[in-house]
Amino acid sequence: MLRDTPNTGLIFSVLLHAAIVGAAYVSIPFMKRDVIQEPMVRMEIPVIDEISAAPPPPTPEPIKEPEPVAPTPEPQVVEAPSSDAMPPPPEKPAPIEEKKKPDVPIVKPPPRKPTPPDTKKRDVAMLESLLKDMQKTAPKPKPQAESKVQDTAQNMAPNISDRASMTERAAIIAHIESCWRIDPGQEGVEDMSAEIRVFINPDGSVQKLEIVDMARYLVDSQFRNFTNTGRNAILGCGKIPMISAANYATFKEMVLNFSPQGRIN
Amino acid sequence: MESAAIAAAPVVNMSAWALFLQADLVVKAVVVLLILMSLWSWAIIFDKVFRLRSLFKQAEQFEEKFWSGQSLEDLFERVGQRPREPMATIFTAAMREWRRSAGKGGTPPASASGSALLGERIDRVMKISLEREMDHLHRRMIFLASTGSVAPFLGLFGTVWGIMNTFTAIGASSDTSLATVAPGIAEALFATALGLVAAIPAVVFYNKISSDLSRYALRLENFAGEFGAILSRQLDVK
């Protein structure tokens, strides 16, 4: 009997498989060509670049200078002289003391009442505490200004020092952007933005990172993926180029806003 | 910057052949094995389907001849010593036994016990012949059954292995972009797809063929029973 080997069956089977593979090769697209090379991705990227690279820096700056001059510069301008003016106050008290002795009752009771005790130690202590206060207040406005910049994107960078720091900031951002690998295929990525607070060591290495919206980071996996791309960019980028060590205080803590539309702010 | 990043991202060829070539040795082995299993199970499927169709047709023809009223001796002469199908085989086995006992002296055994014994022997011979034929027909069905049940697992094994490798590679490169993750997983999933492709037809046709086989076995049994009844009637008559 002819039942030992399914010869005809084998032939039919081979033919069937060949036909299926052929049909699949012809009709199913992914069997033939690569998927990732689609031009779609490349079309999008230049658009993002144009949007991000050009507008934010040039337009805001001219606008900034006239408007905000009033609010922010004053405190800083004041700070600078005050810190420089440290020497004068100690000099002043001496003449004042001399003057006071005659004038004590008459002229300056209210303003000088703090000074009348006039022991230099106290005066110095006062100045120091004043200076400390100034120092405390001095750094504060800058981060606030920065966060305002990040938040509102109406860059409020009023005076020269701030503008210098903005270019340095731009350099830092450019450095990190070069390491940022965004996943353009991620769902909802174009509407996403993540803020990461970066603490930088004096040598430019990254001390630590904080994800600002930690609650969402823990809950929303899309957001987490997106934030992680930014985090990887910062961590994987090596030392951050510090253009001037003098401005370290400004940059030791920065909030970077990662958004695929505006890139990093 | 972004364009640079895109340029740096590996351009991955996602064609099935490229996926296969990129795959790990174990995954390759699994894929090859699954393709061979699919080939062989389809060979068995075609063989069994064609065989069963022709068997039903031959059984139809034989029963037509058998019930056409011609003498069993004539039919036996016509079928000859080498029957080509199970029903004819059962018929010849019974007729041979009948002739050997009945035709020894030219007459059937005179005693009732002797004729009863002959009838029993004929039944037994037919039963053995039927079982042998059905055993032949059932050959290789086990391969279909085990392909249907094992191929998905084999494909799954290939996938798990491939994904393990992929994750190891991701860990080594510490790059989690979709472009680096996707090809490895696609290549691994390819194994599961092949496993399912091999298993689904095997299961479907195993069910169809085994139900057809049991129908055919029932038909043979019925024929054997009827033929045994005819022979025992003849024994009684003589």
Mean pLDDT confidence for A104-127: 56
In the sheet that holds A206-211, the strands lie side by side as A206-211, A194-200, A253-259, A263-264
In chain B, residues with a C-beta closer than 8 Å to the C-beta of A1 are 84, 136
Band of residue A176 on the pLDDT scale cut at 50, 70, 90: confident
Does A39 contact B at CB distance below 8 Å?
no
With a pLDDT cut of 90, the percent of chain A lying above it is 3
Q: Which two tokens stand for residue A173?
A: 């951002």
The CA distance from B184 to B171, in Å, is 13
Q: Which of A100, A126, A124 is nearest to A112 (CA)?
A: A100
Distance between start and end Cα atoms, chain B: 105
Last residue of a domain, one of A106, A137, A168: A137
* A57 in a structural domain: yes
In chain B, residues with a C-beta closer than 8 Å to the C-beta of A231 are none
* A237 in a structural domain: yes
Checking if the pLDDT of B188 tops 50, the result is: yes
* A10 in a structural domain: no
Question: What pLDDT does residue A143 have?
Answer: 46
- Domain span holding position A242: 39-64+155-264
Q: Which of B209, B43, B231 is nearest to B141 (CA)?
A: B209
Q: Which secondary-structure segment (H or E) carries A209?
A: strand A206-211
Average pLDDT value for chain B: 83
Q: Which residues contact B38 (CB under 8 A, 6 or more apart)?
A: A17, B147, B151, B194, B197, B198, B201
- At A185 the three-state DSSP class reads coil
Checking if the pLDDT of A27 tops 80, the result is: no
* A110 in a structural domain: yes
> Is there a single domain that holds both residue A189 and residue A164?
yes
Q: Which residues of A212-230 are buried (b: 16+ CB within 10 A; e: fewer)?
A: beeeebeeeeebebbbbbb
Are B113 and B105 contacting, i.e. CB atoms less than 8 angstroms apart? Answer: no
Question: What pLDDT does residue A253 have?
Answer: 82
Checking if the pLDDT of B34 tops 70, the result is: yes
**What is the number of other CB atoms lying within 10 angstroms of the CB of residue B201?**
18
Mean pLDDT confidence for A49-70: 49
Strand partners, A196: A211, A256
B window 12-41, beta carbon within 8 A of A: 12-16, 18, 35, 38-41
Question: What pLDDT does residue A191 have?
Answer: 77
Last residue of a domain, one of A107, A137, A167: A137
Radius of gyration of chain A (CA): 32
Q: Which residues contact B108 (CB under 8 A, 6 or more apart)?
A: B101, B102, B114, B115, B118, B234, B235, B238
Q: Which residue has the higher pLDDT, B193 or A125?
A: B193
Distance between start and end Cα atoms, chain A: 82
Checking if the pLDDT of A145 tops 70, the result is: no
* A90 in a structural domain: yes
Band of residue B165 on the pLDDT scale cut at 50, 70, 90: confident
A65-76 pLDDT, tens digit each: 444 444 444 444
Band of residue B49 on the pLDDT scale cut at 50, 70, 90: very high
> Is there a single domain that holds both residue A105 and residue A200?
no
In chain B, residues with a C-beta closer than 8 Å to the C-beta of A183 are 177-178
Q: Which residue has the higher pLDDT, A190 or A210?
A: A210
Question: What pLDDT does residue B17 have?
Answer: 74
Q: Which range has the worst mean pLDDT, A32-36, B58-62, B97-101, B136-140?
A: A32-36
Band of residue B52 on the pLDDT scale cut at 50, 70, 90: very high
Question: What pLDDT does residue B128 have?
Answer: 93
Does B113 contact A at CB distance below 8 Å?
no
| Half-sphere exposure for B124 (CA within 13 Å, toward CB) | 7
* A20 in a structural domain: no
One-letter identity of residue A21: V
> Is there a single domain that holds both residue A255 and residue A181?
yes
Report the Cα B212 to chain-centroid distance in Å. Answer: 11
Question: What pLDDT does residue A260 have?
Answer: 75
Q: Which of A4, A5, A16, A229 is the best mutation test for B, with the most CBs of B within 10 A?
A: A16
Asked whether the beta carbons of residue A9 and residue B38 sit closer than 8 angstroms, the reply is no
One-letter identity of residue B87: M
Question: What pLDDT does residue B9 have?
Answer: 39
> Is there a single domain that holds both residue A180 and residue A107?
no
> Is there a single domain that holds both residue A59 and residue A82?
no
Asked whether the beta carbons of residue A9 and residue B48 sit closer than 8 angstroms, the reply is yes
Mean pLDDT confidence for A178-190: 77
* A29 in a structural domain: no
Q: Which residue has the higher pLDDT, B188 or A116?
A: B188
> Is there a single domain that holds both residue A84 and residue A181?
no
Band of residue A135 on the pLDDT scale cut at 50, 70, 90: low
> Is there a single domain that holds both residue A43 and residue A111?
no
> Is there a single domain that holds both residue A170 and residue A250?
yes
What one-character-per-residue DSSP string does A112-153 give? HSSSTT--HHHHHHHHHHHHHHHHHHTTTHHHHHHHHHHHH-
The CA distance from A114 to A109, in Å, is 9
The CA distance from B61 to B78, in Å, is 13
Checking if the pLDDT of A258 tops 70, the result is: yes
Band of residue B231 on the pLDDT scale cut at 50, 70, 90: confident
**How many domains is chain A partitioned into structurally?**
2
> Is there a single domain that holds both residue A241 and residue A161?
yes
Question: What pLDDT does residue B148 have?
Answer: 94
Mean pLDDT confidence for B35-44: 93
> Is there a single domain that holds both residue A166 and residue A259?
yes
Mean pLDDT confidence for B125-151: 92
Question: What pLDDT does residue B8 have?
Answer: 39
Question: What pLDDT does residue B210 have?
Answer: 93
Band of residue A120 on the pLDDT scale cut at 50, 70, 90: low
Measured on CA atoms in the order A174, A179, A185, A190, is the torsion positive or negative? Answer: negative
- Interior angle at CA A135, CA A130 and CA A136, nearest 5: 95
Q: Which residue has the higher pLDDT, B112 or B42?
A: B42
Checking if the pLDDT of B226 tops 80, the result is: yes
The CA distance from A263 to B13, in Å, is 29
* A129 in a structural domain: yes
Are B147 and B202 contacting, i.e. CB atoms less than 8 angstroms apart? Answer: yes
